[in-house]
Amino acid sequence: MDKDELTAWALKNGWRMIDGHPSLAKPARPKEAIVKLVFKTTTVALEVKRPAGKWDKVASAAYAAVTADEDGGVPQGLGLDSFVFTKLMQDNKDQQVFGS
């Protein structure tokens, strides 16, 4: 997957653009990103914000190593399929749909 495909998938699945990155936020603070995708020339990185405010890279992969799920689910190769991220994505998607 390339940058545009990953961005389109993310925005369709509850992510929102915050500070120029597809991001997930805490439901209680929808304007403050706690997870973001950072796109570089040849790689994409998954970063998580620590409570102290520092961003930590938890995964990184070349675009060629990130593959789309055949059923439209979470792309493989970046670790987005863990329970924590899928729950946070669902919470963000619900917040966008229901405005809660």
In contact, 34 and 24? CB cutoff 8 Å: yes
Region 53-82 average pLDDT = 90
Asked if residue 78 is part of any domain, the answer here is yes
The strands making up 55-62's β-sheet, listed across from edge to edge, are 16-18, 21-26, 29-39, 43-49, 55-62
pLDDT of the residue at 83: 64
Region 29-46 average pLDDT = 94
Asked if residue 98 is part of any domain, the answer here is no
Helix (H/G/I), strand (E/B), else coil: 58: strand
Asked if residue 89 is part of any domain, the answer here is no
Asked if residue 95 is part of any domain, the answer here is no
Give how many domains the chain has, as a whole number.
Answer: 1
Helix (H/G/I), strand (E/B), else coil: 79: coil
Which residue range(s) make up the domain with 29? 3-83
